[in-house]
Structure 1
């Protein structure tokens, strides 16, 4: 998924701000970084067009240049800057943007290993499943990270990850 255009107005997030905050708190508290085994830029390239022109009020021309300057050169942004930055739409954008980000964090090329990925999947689902936000993260039989929308959700319908 590439987030290069603003979300249509009709795509209002159904994952609540409370659930998003709980997810971000979980990601802030784990021992491994959200970008996993990749570097930050490589992780984000899989989700965003980092070379899209920046907002008018930005001093740097692109998100890539901003990341390079503030996360790599200056190191003057915290690791969790991404959770509040409106350009990446995790805190208030469409559900699919957040879900694609979460699926990438547990993808085999990103996560340190299967056990770690499965632990994160379970915890991320706990954040979403105990609410009625309608989304979950899981792995496929080939261990690729996926996300799904729940329709007609009933707690006993919860997907069980394969081992």
Structure 2
């Protein structure tokens, strides 16, 4: 169908496209490049974000501001990006000598404003809330900002916030 419409190739920027669809493109020898998504195909072309370095810089910034109780709003663990960013956040905190309280990890069900809002509410309403929050992407962080403000807290006076795209 794509060839019939004179499509020469695809840039695939969806982390939610089914692996079967990508396998079909590969099987049909249809050219594609994956954007911010890993692949099982040895010859697939992909443009990836350095999640580890980006998350490490974001966490270092919060630590440099003096934060030790840092909440993590991870993205969906069904995605490579969500998994990599949570793993990187844990490692970055460990490198800084900070023990991550499991109660400070909230996994958002999507990389969305609403999911970030719901996850942040769980963190900021906890008995011992974080003094800073790392959001796995900017939409999650924007949702977290809304939750922070709605609970009467000020960002950054009460809770610092950083997102990473």
Q: TM-score of the superposition, structure 1-length normalised?
A: 0.28
Q: Say which structure, 1 or 2, has more relative contact order (CA 8 Å, 6+ apart).
A: 1
TM-score by length of 2: 0.28
Q: Computing the radius of gyration over CA atoms, which structure comes out larger, 1 or 2?
A: 2
Q: Which one has the bigger strand percentage?
A: 2
